[in-house]
Amino acid sequence: MADYKIDNPYDFETVIRMKLEDVGFKTELPPKNTKGYDIIALRNDKKFAVQVKNYKKQVISQPQIKQFHDFLNKSYNREKFQHGFFITTTDFAKTVYSYFEAKEIKNIKLGIYNVSNGEITIGSYSPTMTHPTPRKAKYIGVFTSKGGVGKTTISAHLAGGFAVSGYENVILLDLDPQGNLRKLLGEGVFIPQDASKNYPGATISVFDYNDEGWGEEDANIIICDCNPDFNNNPKELIAKFDYCIIPTSLNPLGINKNADVIKRTFDEIRSINKNAKLFVLINNYYPHGQNDVKKSRNERLNTILKSNFERFIKKDSKCLYIDPIDDFAIRFSQSLWFWGFDTLIEEQEPCLAFKKFAGISHPKADFISLAGYIEEHTNISELKP
């Protein structure tokens, strides 16, 4: 085979097309903005969907393979493609091979492209390869200097909100010593799209900060579920935060205490990171609906909590209070309250609380709104493909 070099990360599709053509395939590109695969390969009257990932360090995890498998198995794609290739410049997690064995997958071949010699190895492990560095990821820390405010729930579902909003590679980093993200989501989760849409869904990968192969250089967005003990979070990681989500709730007993905790959280973050935007987010919010009594109580509680931050926010323009009445909040829902029941109690596959009930999913809508709010108040949308 000829030796084609990758001059930048976005040339990888062209390189793989050339390598496939070297061994007898005809290739073509799918229509613009097609999701689920990157190249069409044809040989002997068979059509192959080819997915390529030009990562520097991040290994391919099981949810990413599950996404591709799910895409190929949809009825309208089974008629179009007989097989699929998934080709990367790094490696596949061992659980990917376990998934292949458990599901007896026959219609996907795994390939690793070796940058140093220009060869593709099919179906075997390989040392990590390298290629030029892609765009810089954005870091989001979800942090409050106390436990029990929903950090893990918000971290996981904000990742879901970004993933289904078009960000291709979202990573969750578990910094909490309890390791709840790993307990609830394993090594990651695949979020299927609505059955009516010809779209491959989205994936989120979960890693511990000390894991090898989590691929900082390869992610669009990295969301950190932080340790409530500030001093036990890696300082070098806090220094990288572009944004911080600081969750709290509106309730009479805790509202003044929560304000003090948040102000302390502000101070702690600023002791290391002067530039991150800080967002105060109301979690478990009870919307007032048509109930005037609840509306009045929410307004009074919101006024008290918001007033605690006015002086701080005036001094620091990068602190924002997301008003639960004028902007939005993460509403209380039974889906979020019982999130994890299917995984931890019923021992089912990991999932987010994005399932529809009565035709709607409030958690999905709320976290897409949160992702959109962050887009509006930052430049994070530059990372969208």
Could you report the per-residue pLDDT of 248-267, keeping only the tens digit for each? 988 887 777 778 888 888 89
CB within 8 A of 97, min separation 6: which ones? none
Domain assignment of residue 194, yes or no: yes
Q: Is the pLDDT of residue 156 over 90?
A: yes
Distance CA 373, CA 384 (A): 15
pLDDT: which is higher, 170 or 104: 170
Read off the pLDDT of each residue in 23-40 and give the average, rounded to a whole number.
88
Whether 29 and 170 map to the same domain: the answer is no
Same domain, 254 and 148: yes
Number of domains in the chain: 2
Find out whether 216 and 240 touch, Cβ atoms under 8 Å.
Answer: no
pLDDT of residue 47: 92
Residue 223 lies in a domain: yes
Report pLDDT for 125: 32
pLDDT at 166: 84
Residues 238 and 365 reside in one and the same domain: yes
Place of tokens 């990295």: 222
Residue 76: which CATH number?
Answer: 3.40.1350.10
How confident is the model over 287-309, as pLDDT tens digits?
766 567 777 888 889 998 888 88
User: Is the same domain home to 348 and 213?
Assistant: yes
Question: Is residue 357 situated within a structural domain?
Answer: yes
* pLDDT score of 382: 83
| 246 pLDDT above the threshold of 50 | yes
- Report the range of poorest mean pLDDT among 33-42, 74-83, 187-196: 187-196
Structure token digits, residue 252 = 């009479």
Residues spanned by the domain of 63: 9-122
Q: Is the pLDDT of residue 201 over 80?
A: no
pLDDT of residue 194: 61
Burial of 65 (0-12, 13-18, 19+ CB in 10 A): buried
Residue 320, strand partner residues: 279
Q: Do 297 and 208 share a structural domain?
A: yes
Same domain, 224 and 332: yes
| Average pLDDT over every residue of 233-243 | 94
Mean pLDDT, residues 51-58: 86
Residues 41, 178: one domain? no
Domain boundary among 91, 122, 153: 122
118 and 240, same domain (yes or no): no
Residue 130: pLDDT band with limits 50, 70, 90 = very low
Q: Is residue 251 part of a domain?
A: yes
Q: In terms of domains, do 85 and 158 share one?
A: no
**What pLDDT digit, counting tens, does each position of 328-354 carry?**
899 998 899 899 898 889 888 889 998
pLDDT at 5 over 50: no
Mean pLDDT across the chain: 84
Q: In this model, does residue 129 exceed pLDDT 70? A: no
Segment of 30-39, 153-162, 287-296 carrying the highest mean pLDDT:
153-162
User: Is-contact 60 86, C-beta < 8 A?
Assistant: yes
| Residue 322 lies inside a defined structural domain of this protein | yes
Q: What is the DSSP string of 172-206?
A: EEE-STT-HHHHHHTTEEEE---TTS----EEEEE
Same domain, residue pair 229 and 305: yes
